Amino acid sequence: MKPLLIAGNWKSNKGIAEAKEWVRQFNAKCQMLNAKWDHITVVLCVPFTLVYPLKREISQLRLPVQLGAQDVSPFGEGAYTGEVSATQIKELADWVIIGHSERRKYFGETDEVLMQKVAQAKAAGLKIIFCVPDDKTPIPADVDVAAYEPVWAIGTGYADTPENAATVIATLKQKFSIRQVLYGGSVTAENVVSFVAQPAIDGVLPGGASLDAAKFFDLLTAAQSIP
Ligand code: 13P
């Protein structure tokens, strides 16, 4: 079976009570169906405020889910008001998303600042999911996993075709010597198989479909079915 990485991105959604309810529902599904994701690494990338409460819930229930942040400071610890450093994240989570198109668009993040973020995350031992909107945007050398997320497919319900996503991902792999690349943009339980069945695609990065525990569970179950 092909190893897959499936990382849910909650973006700026949910308070603590809602996050706990998500875990309760997800756990109930896992128990009921005796679910195991043998070849799928499951990651939830959540707002900073939810990392600690979710870490507690997930470890208490021994859920096979790893945690990630959605951003990281380009600086180390120090006088950088409002920022969360990579070492602070690493105390609670193993993963971080860097370069999401929403950060590039709404927060003006440049390739240069993203390089600094990657350097900080790498030095702290975080695993990085680096997002790019196309096969022309550079991927820094230290990145573990990249994600191809065409801007027009994010949150629109119009996913890229699996064939085109696979072509872009194959180009990214060749150009930037990166081994693992995900697809993101309107991925659902209904279309996930068409993406992960493509040999070049190593997993998916769902946003909306990760917010609902049952939908996310169904997405994992569907992905698990590929040979
Ligand atoms: P949607 O799955 O909601 O389109 O979001 C994709 C995304 O931006 C994940 O990072």
Q: What six digits make up the tokens of 145?
A: 């996993």
> 4-224 maps to which CATH number?
3.20.20.70
Which ligand 1 atom is at minimum distance from the Cα of 185? 4
Give yes or no for residue 34 having a pLDDT over 90.
Answer: no
Q: What six digits make up the tokens of 210?
A: 């990760």
The predicted-structure confidence for 178-212, as pLDDT tens digits, reads as follows 999 999 999 999 999 999 999 999 999 999 999 99
Q: Where are the domains of the chain?
A: 4-224
100 is catalytic: yes
Q: What is the mean pLDDT of the chain?
A: 96
Question: Angle at Cα 104 formed by Cα 40 and Cα 49, nearest 5°?
Answer: 60
Residue from 57, 102, 109, 149 carrying the catalytic annotation: 149
CA 50/CA 12 separation, integer angstroms? 10
Best of 152, 154, 187, 195 to mutate for ligand 1, by most ligand atoms within 8 A of CB?
154
Secondary structure of residue 49 in the 3-state scheme: helix
Tokens 């600690």 sit on residue? 52
Is any ligand 1 atom within 6 A of the Cβ of residue 154?
yes
149 is catalytic: yes
> Which residue's CA lies nearest to atom 5 of ligand 1?
207
Residues 6+ apart with CB under 8 A from 208: 155, 186
Average pLDDT over residues 77-99: 98
Average pLDDT over residues 98-113: 97
Q: What six digits make up the tokens of 226?
A: 């590929």
Give yes or no for residue 35 having a pLDDT over 80.
Answer: no
Q: What six digits make up the tokens of 187?
A: 């991925």
CA 180/CA 7 separation, integer angstroms? 13
